[in-house]
Structure 1
Amino acid sequence: MTQTTTDGRLRDLEAEAFRTGRTLAQHSQDLGDIKAQQRTAFSNIDSLADAIGAPGDRSLTQRLDSIEGELGDVKRDLGDVKRLLRALARTQGIDPEAE
């Protein structure tokens, strides 16, 4: 084997090793990104489960009904606040319907 052939083969091997290393680095980065996305997704699921309640306490339907009821209460309270603010505006001579 001549020196030129050996040098060419070494360059080819180095180039292949570089491409392989770059591919492995990209795969490693992609795997890290996927793991981060999974952690975020599982964290969101855990947060939702905590908001709904502890398993075994009540059925999912009961928990969702409870949340729905609480939302209804909040909507009623907001309606009361809105009426109060309109009344206060009128007492100060402000038309609450004017933009």
Structure 2
Amino acid sequence: MANETPTHDARLRDLEAEAFRTGRTLAEHSEQLTTIRDQQRTAFGNIDSLANAVGAPGDRSIAQRLDTIERVLFALARAQGVDPDAV
């Protein structure tokens, strides 16, 4: 029985270490999800702003507005050295 206590203590330390690592990993994933949500919110806000800049909803059809937005985004990608056709 004397040998069981050190084994039990070692196992308990292992479990505590694993719980700590898991908690840290979950916290890191939570931070990443928050960052992704912020990026999505910004992207959708930019799309809304761009759509509003292209024209009011009644001015042109959605297809025409989206076509204009697509052309603007392609031009921005090319300006940054990205070939949108290759992506």
TM range (shorter): 0.5 to 0.7
CA distance in 2, matches of 1:41, 1:51: 15
Runs of 4+ in 1 over 3 A off after TM superposition: none
Q: Please, which of 38, 49, 52 is the counterpart of residue 51 of structure 2? A: 49
Would you say 1:36 and 2:38 are equivalent positions? Answer: yes
Sequence identity, in percent? 71
| Larger CA Rg, structure 1 vs 2 | 1
- The normalised TM-score by structure 1 is 0.57
CA distance in 2, matches of 1:58, 1:48: 14
Structure 2: gaps spanning 5 or more residues: 69-87
Residue of structure 2 in register with 1:15 after alignment: 17
Higher RCO (CA < 8 A, seq sep 6+) = 2
Matched residues, number: 62
Q: Deviations over 1:9-68 (max 9, x none)?
A: 10000000000000100110011100000001000000011111122422437xx6xxxx
RMSD: 1.7
Structure 1: gaps spanning 5 or more residues: 65-99
CA distance in 1, matches of 2:13, 2:26: 20
